[in-house]
Each structure stands twice: as C-alpha cells, then as structure tokens.
Amino acid sequence: MMSRRFLADKIWLSLAFVAVVIAVIPLASILYEVTRLGISSMNIDFFTKLPPTLLPGSVGGMGNAVEGSLMLVALASLIGLPIGLLSGVFISEYGNNWYGSTVRFLGDVLVGNPSIVIGILGYILLVIPFHGFSLVAGGVALGVMTIPIVSNTTAEALKLVPNSLREASHALGIRKWRTSILILANAKSAVATGALLAIARVMGETAPLILTAGISTLWYSGPFQPVASLTYYIYYFSTSFPSHSAEFDLAWGAAFILIVIVMGINLGVRIITRGTTGHA
C-alpha cells in the first residue's frame, strides 16, 4: 500500500516533467524549421531588393518589408513609450487612490485585447478619414498596443524601488517631481526591459496591420501611403504562393529574420536582467 502511493507519486512527478518536455518541443521545432527553411534566403538581395515579379530574371527580396517593419516599430515606440512611461509614473507615484488603481486595472485588461480589434479601431479612426492605408495608421495602432504594456511594466518596476528612497528624498527637501525622476532612474533597467519587450511583441503583430497599414510592393513612399511589413508579407506570401516558389522561400526567410530580431531582443533582455529580480 505504501509502495502504491510512492509509485503514484513518482508517476505524477514524472508527468510534470513530461509536461515540460512537451512544452519545449514546439519551440524547438519552430526554431529548427524556421532556421532550416529560412536561412537559405539570407543574402544581400533579401535586404536590398523588392519582392519578385514575373519578369524574366527578376530576383526578389524583402527589403521594403524590413524597412517597413522597422519604421512601423519606430513610430509605435515614439507614440507608445512616452505615454506609457508617464502613465506608469503616475500609477506608482501619484496613484495611490481610486484613479490610480483604475488606470492600473484597465491597463492590465487592455494588455489582453485582441489585436484585430485594435485594427478595427485604427481602420475606423485613421484609415477612413485619410482615405487609405498608411504608415501613420499602422504606427498609431501598434503604438496603442504598447501603451498599456509599457504603463504597467513601468508601474511594476517603480514599485520595486523601496519606499525608503522616496522618503529619504522627501526628507531632504527634494521636490516630488524630481524624486519621481530619481526613482525612475533607479529602476531604469526594469523599465527598459518592459519597453524592449513591448517593442518586441509589437514587431510580431500582423492583425492590426491588415486593417491599417495595408501592403506595399514598393519602397517606403510617404507617411500616408501603405507600407510593407515583414509580418504581413509572411502571411501573404506563405498562403498565396506554392511551395518551392521564390515567394514562399522569402516568406520563411522573413520569418527567420523576424524570429532573430524578436527573440533576440527577448533573449538579450532576459539574459541581462537574469539573477537580479524576477523569476529564477
């Protein structure tokens, strides 16, 4: 009887281990497949040429997609980071009241919003009035996605700084706004972590771009024109072209470069902040 319990114990514990292995397999498979199928497309042409057409001798690349993704993310950060940062400062420094907790709560809830709904919002507010898909619409939509993320991670990061620092600073007669900046400076690595992770997340989004930025076969041609993006091109090329075609291979190449950038940021951030606060 005792041994039966011990046996059950061993089974349950090994099941937990099996669960971990099962969780790891997809990641390994994704990384392996994306690398295997995508790395052959990594050459200078990929970054400098436009998508291939059917004219003879047309060599294609995704230069405009890489450029477009970077621009979208840049615009999204320009919009989302300052707003999110100051919002986080509010929550942690001035927000020990009902309003602060409401902002906090809504921010948490907004983080989980479906990205297609943000696309709808962007379409209604930015595409229809400006008569078309545009970089601005895409950037703003992505920026709106980053605001709640950055706001809450900043608030969390600032809360980690112990209160004694604030008290000491007040005791010395330093003004409140200066104190807040001091605290922010203290938590800057955690804040930067949150910002970087928000940027990495937004870089991999497709659904809002379908409805706001559209797609473009040309180089960037103005803020109020549609702009290409890596994610949309992956979606479009992989579902509209046969396997073993140039476009299909380019889609995997784009997936590869996207993974490299996004996971590179995630990896880098977590390696650098490892062993300090947070999970093991």
Partner 1 sequence: MSQGGWPIAILYGFDYRTCRLPINYVPERLRARMKLYKTGASGTTIGLVVVLVVVVVAAGAYIALNPGGGTTTITQTSTATSTATSVATSVATSTATSTVTSVSTATSSTATYYPLTLQAGGSTFVNPIMQVWATSFNQYTNSAVQTNYQAIGSGAGITGILKGTFEFAGSDAPVSNSQSANYTSVKGPLLTIPETLGGVAIFYNIPGVSVSLNLTGLIIAKIYLGQITTWNDPAIQALNPKTTLPGNTIVPVHRSDGSGTTYALTNYFEKVSKDWNASFTSGCPCYGTSISWPAFEIGAKGSGGVAAYVQQNTNTIGYADSYYAFSNKLTAAAVQNSAGHFLVPTIANIASAASDFSAQIQANPTFAITNAPGAASYPIATYTYILVWQKQTNQQQGYDTAHFLWWVVNQGQAFGPSLFYPTLPASVVTIDETIIAQMSYNGVPFITV
Partner 2 sequence: MKRRSRTDAIFKWLTIIFATAVVFLAVLFFYELGTGSSLTLRSGFSFITGSKWDPVGNVFGVLPMLYGSLVTSAIALVIGVPISLGVAIFLSELAPHRVRSPFSFVVEMLAAVPSVVYGLWGLFVLAPVLRDDVYPVLRTYLGFLPIFQSSSTQLPGVSIMTAGIILAIMIIPIVSSISRDALLAVPDSQREAAYALGATKSEAIRISVLSYARSGIFASIFLGLGRAFGETIAVTMVIGNTPLITGSLFSPGYTLASLIANEFTEATTPVYISALVEAGLVLLTVVFLTNIAARVLISRLVKNREAASYL
Phi and psi angles of residue 235, each rounded to the nearest 5 degrees, phi first: -60, -45
Q: What angle do CA 193, 137, 45 make, to 5 degrees?
A: 75
Q: ∠203-205-209 over CA atoms, to 5°?
A: 105
By CB under 8 A, name the one of 43, 58, 113, 240 that touches partner 2.
Answer: 113
Q: Which CB, 66 or 157, lies closer to partner 2?
A: 157
Q: Return the range that interacts with partner 1 (CB under 8 A); candidates 39-47, 82-90, 98-106, 208-216.
A: 208-216
In angstroms, the CA 11 to CA 17 distance is 10
> Are residues 87 and 103 in contact, defined by beta-carbon separation less than 8 angstroms?
yes
- Spatial distance between the Cα atoms of 68 and 128, rounded to a whole number of angstroms: 21
Q: Is 197 in the site for partner 2 (CB under 8 A)?
A: yes
Determine the 3-state secondary structure of 86 from DSSP. Answer: helix
Region for residue 195 given its phi and psi (left: phi exceeds 0; alpha: psi -120 to 50; beta: otherwise): alpha
Select the binding partner of residue 35 from partner 2, partner 1, none (C-beta < 5 to 8 A, by kind).
none
Q: Which residues are CB-contacts of 73 (< 8 A; sequence separation ≥ 6)?
A: 142, 199, 202, 203
Distance CA(59)–CA(46), nearest Å, equals 9
With CB under 5 to 8 Å by kind, the binding choice for 161 among partner 2, partner 1, none is partner 1
Nearer to partner 1, 43 or 240 (CB): 240
Least distance (Å) between residue 27 CB and partner 1: 24
CB of 171 to partner 2, least distance (A): 16
Q: Determine, following the binding rule CB under 8 A, whether residue 280 of this chain makes contact with partner 1.
A: no
Among 17, 21, 276, 280, binds partner 1 (CB under 8 A): 276
Q: Does 157 bind partner 1 (CB under 8 A)?
A: yes
Give the number of other CB atoms < 10 A from CB of residue 210: 21
Return the CA Rg of the chain: 23
Q: Is 130 in the site for partner 2 (CB under 8 A)?
A: no
- Using CB under 8 A as the binding rule, whether residue 174 contacts partner 1 is answered as yes
34 binds partner 2 (CB under 8 A): yes
In the three-class reduction of DSSP (H, G, I as helix; E, B as strand; rest coil), residue 43 is classed as: coil
Out of 86, 120, 161, 260, which residue is the one contacting partner 1 (CB under 8 A)? Answer: 161
Site for partner 1 in 81-120 (CB under 8 A): none
| Least distance between partner 1 and beta carbon 132 (Å) | 4
Interaction between residue 23 and partner 2 (CB under 8 A): yes
Cα distance between residue 228 and residue 47, in whole Å: 13
**CB 44 → partner 2: shortest distance, Å?**
23
Among 74, 106, 124, 267, binds partner 1 (CB under 8 A): 74
Q: Is 123 a residue that touches partner 1 (CB under 8 A)?
A: no
For 23, counting Cβ atoms within 10 Å of its Cβ (0-12 exposed, 13-18 middle, 19+ buried), the class is exposed
* Residue carrying structure tokens 């999204």: 76
Per CB under 8 A, does 35 bind partner 1?
Answer: no
> Among the candidate windows 93-101, 143-151, 217-225, 249-257, which touches partner 1 by CB under 8 A?
217-225
| Residue 46 touching partner 2 (CB under 8 A) | no
